[in-house]
Amino acid sequence: MLESVLSKRPMIRKRLLKPFVINTNPDTVTAVAVLCAIFSGYFFYIGFFLATAIFLALNGFLDLLDGEIAKKGKTTKKGDFIDHTADRISDTAIFLGIAYNPAIPTDLALLALISALLVSYLGTQAQALTSRRMYGGLIGRAERHIVLFAGAIMAYAFSSVFALVFAVYAIIVLSIITFMQRFYALYKVTGA
């Protein structure tokens, strides 16, 4: 949802990111974003939620920034492939960290990971079938980050994982709804 708003109003993204757009290879920024996701997952695992939130925010910011840097130069299919692959690796690292935190039900976190990956899969499947990436629905990667960020901050502020567990439940429910929305939209577009 947030991605579709930003894609309709690209100047918002451009203005926010302009001070940070540097002359570098966007794949380097993507690699640093993945490292931030791995750190975020690790801090989810050990329950250091303030660090989790910081690295999660950095991952999200760098994910936006690498795309903006790519647009400044010449975007390529290879760069798009690397970016989407890195996003899935990042999602997996973050949710595995949550899954292995002893205070959070492992099955719940793994279900959140699966539902998130299915939503992203339909976005890239739409691109393969229609040449246009699909960002519609209730929750995408950006919104998942916001929900997890809020859950981590609340877990830190109240020294309780309740808010984080609630955030994971919310991601599951919203991701399943988004999967159905995207599936139906893609089903209609392909004329199936």
Is residue 26 within 8 Å of 70, Cβ to Cβ?
Answer: yes
Position 143 scores a pLDDT of 95
pLDDT, tens only, 123-156:
989 888 888 888 888 999 999 999 999 999 999 9
Is residue 123 within 8 Å of 135, Cβ to Cβ?
Answer: yes
Number of structural domains in the chain: 1
* Domain coverage including residue 123: 2-189
**Above 60 in pLDDT, residue 73?**
yes
pLDDT, tens only, 78-102:
888 999 999 999 999 999 999 999 9
Position 155 scores a pLDDT of 97
Give the dihedral sign, CA 29/30/31/37. positive
Q: Quick one: which of 104, 99, 102, 111 has its CA closest to 165? A: 104
pLDDT, tens only, 10-66:
677 677 777 677 778 889 999 999 999 999 999 999 999 999 999 999 999 999 888
Is residue 80 within 8 Å of 26, Cβ to Cβ?
Answer: no
For residue 67, name the pLDDT band (cuts at 50, 70, 90).
Answer: confident
Distance CA 86, CA 67 (A): 12
The helix/strand/coil state of 103 is coil
**Above 90 in pLDDT, residue 7?**
no
Q: 28: how many CB neighbours lie within 10 A of its CB?
A: 11
Distance CA 176, CA 155 (A): 24
pTM exceeding 0.85: yes
CATH of the domain at 152: 1.20.120.1760
Distance CA 18, CA 170 (A): 33
Alpha helix positions (H), the chain: 2-8, 10-17, 26-46, 49-72, 77-99, 106-130, 141-158, 162-189
